[in-house]
Amino acid sequence: MTQKDIELKELLDIESNSRNTDFELSYEKPDPLLIAKRQSDDEAILLCALFAYGNAKLIVKFLDSLDFSLLNESEEKIEKWLKNHYYRFQNSQDVIMAFKSFRRLKQESSLEELFYQGYKKENSVLEGIDFVIQKIKEKANYSSQGFDFLVGNSLKRDKNGFIKEMGNAPYKRWNMFLRWMVRKDSLDLGLWQKIDKKDLILPLDTHTFNVSLKLGLLSRKTYDLKSALLITEKLKEFDKNDPIKYDFAIYRLGQEKMI
């Protein structure tokens, strides 16, 4: 490593260690993980991640308004209780269909097992994400702009069937969900055992993208999946077995405008 890399690793180690505490999650410092940590169902935790776009305080406020126990109730009850719920790009029907499709998924198989079916081919979290998205779409049998934005669309592939690095979005909310489920520390839940944390990809959003550029973790100016993969590879130089442990710190540095 260069001297600059050594100094950068020291900075990120200090930041990630100091922020690895329950005190980082509060209504004063809102993060969707605050609500996700209260859930017992993987499907509820995934919904917390997928609705996590926009202003952090508004995300937490909306997630607080949801009754995730509806995932264990009838579809009629889901319709009744969520008929007035909407969030940004999702109208009430989109929210209802998200709960219905996740309920149907939950009755068929565990979310970890479904994800593992895609992941195990090449230890690829992208294949796992793609597999689960397809399953959700099958269970929903429903499409709208709001619902498709929430769940995501199948990843674009090249003519040989490989997932494209360029031309795909970073799938930030899905990768954040995986960070929560696979890593285990004071912040992350560590509920899944079958996925290796060394295979995780940085959940790239505008905060982490801009901070990564300023810190020199990335020189590429395009916000896409390839940039998320490049930053992840750089972070592997600092910790090859757990590169995404730095994600929360990088995100907060941007959110708090420290860099």
Q: Output the pLDDT for position 84.
A: 95
Beta bridge partners of 90: 87
Instruction: Please determine, for residue 257, whether its predicted confidence score (pLDDT) is greater than 80.
Output: no
List, in sequence order, every residue forming a beta bridge with 189; answer none if it has no partner.
Answer: 184
Band of pLDDT at residue 193, cut at 50, 70 and 90? very high
pTM of the model: 0.96
Cα–Cα nearest to 98, from 49, 33, 131, 162: 49
Q: Which residue has the tokens 């308004």?
A: 65
The string of pLDDT tens digits covering residues 194-219 is 999 999 999 999 889 999 999 999 99
Helix (H) / strand (E) containing 131: helix 125-140
Residues 70-94: what's their mean pLDDT? 97
Q: Confirm if 80 and 140 have CB atoms less than 8 A apart.
A: no
Task: For residue 28, give the DSSP letter.
Answer: S
* pLDDT higher than threshold 90 for residue 256: no
Q: What is the pLDDT of residues 12-66, one digit of tens each?
A: 999 999 999 989 999 999 999 999 999 999 999 999 999 999 999 999 999 999 9
**142-191: per-residue pLDDT in tens?**
999 999 999 999 999 999 999 999 999 999 999 999 999 999 999 999 99
H helix or E strand, kind and range, residue 247: helix 247-255
Check residue 121 and give its pLDDT. 87
Q: What is the pLDDT of residue 116?
A: 98
